[in-house]
Amino acid sequence: MQTKQISLEQAAERLSVSPRSLSDRRYRIRLGLAAVRIGRRLTFSETDLERIIREGRERLPGEGRR
């Protein structure tokens, strides 16, 4: 099953953050959000965005790793 990919701007709007914040790799790691880079563009899985919204909180570095 293939999920819909969403642009950086659409993902930032959906998460209520700036596109610049979302383009920062460290910020995405804290959120647990993987990005797909196609050339210079970043896209995000709609399923991943929905999961982050549903969870409602960011992951802190080292959290959940044991």
Number of domains into which the chain is organized: 1
Closest CA to 29 of 64, 3, 4: 64
The answer to whether residue 64 sits within a structural domain is no
**Domain carrying residue 47:** 5-55
**Whole-structure pTM value:** 0.77
Q: What is the pLDDT of residues 3-59, one digit of tens each?
A: 899 999 999 999 999 999 999 999 998 888 999 999 999 999 999 999 888 887 666
pLDDT computed for residue 54 by the predictor:
86
Per-residue confidence (pLDDT) for residue 49, from 0 to 100:
93
Tell me if 63 is assigned to some domain. no
In a domain, 66, yes or no: no
* DSSP bridge pairs for 43: 7, 36
Q: Is residue 65 one of the residues assigned to a domain?
A: no
pLDDT at residue 1, as a whole number: 60
Q: Is residue 60 part of a domain?
A: no
